[in-house]
A and B are shown apart, each in its own frame.
Chain A
Amino acid sequence: MAAAAPSATALAGAALPLPLSARPQPARFSVALPRTAPPPPALRLRSVRRLAAAEGPPAGMKETLDKVVSAHKVVLFMKGTKDFPQCGFSHTVVQILRSLDVPFETLDVLANDALRQGLKDYSSWPTFPQLYIDGEFFGGCDITLEAYKSGELQETLEKAMCS
């Protein structure tokens, strides 16, 4: 297991520019960017700070994650950020959520190793992205894509938005 990273490093990591090689084509985002509201930084920064301070006792991690996943209707734990996903699977889920015009929060698991490890246990799911709707684990990329195609995702989101 990786030891909890020093909090200063973890926080700096959240704001670090991505390596050039990992940046998606700018063209891909030229359409998506203008319609995206700037993400409110509050959730991201607060939770990352709290998680970095948690230093891995599973109990504290669980409570923290309980709060994080229910702080918003739709929370996506992903690699990279909405505008610069670092992985094709995370990118796919971002695109799906954008196409459905639902507000969603994202957290970058690459910026915080404690968060990344903690979530694997919390969700009983070893990979990312992980999508939470209404505080419930919905699925990874495959399930989200399948549910999007079948309409089940839209249904679940509508229910969540009305609740």
Chain B
Amino acid sequence: MMGSRGTSVVLSRAARMRQKLQSALEASALDIEDVSYQHAGHAAVKDNANETHFNIKVISPKFEGQSLVKRHRMVYDLLTDELNSGLHAISIVAKTPTESGS
């Protein structure tokens, strides 16, 4: 939970995730949708249903030549701190600019 996140007090998890993904992946598009409400009351999030589940759509040139598993691992690796501090699950769509047709 401790770390170098000096701004974590004021930033929402969604905003922190956006910063981390945007800068590391040089994303040309990044959608982060909080869907925690869909999972409120499920076994693992009894107490705190805030910012636990997200849908993430990210388009990044860094995914070029990477398998889906690797792309998802890249996203997970960037969000390790969040996963260790209450982020429970993310649904990931990870495409390259070419694949997204943009």
Contact = CB atoms under 8 A, between A and B. Distances in A.
Contacts of B39: 88
Contacts, number: 43
A91 B78 CA distance: 27
Interface string B58-102: 000000000011001100100010010000111111000000000
A84 B87 CA distance: 24
- Contact-size category for A: 20 to 34
Interface SS of chain B: helix
Interface in A128-144: 137-143
B5 interface: no
B29 interface: no
A22 B92 CA distance: 25
B91 A146 contact: no
A95 to B, nearest CB: 16
Interface SS of chain A: mixed
A138 B72 CA distance: 12
Interface of A: 19, 21-22, 79, 86-89, 110, 124-127, 137-143, 146-147
- Contact-size category for B: 10 to 19
A124 B73 contact: yes
Q: Which of A110, A141, A142 has the most CB of B within 10 A?
A: A142
B24 interface: no
Nearest to B73: A124
Contacts of A143: 68-69, 72
Contacts of B69: 137-139, 143
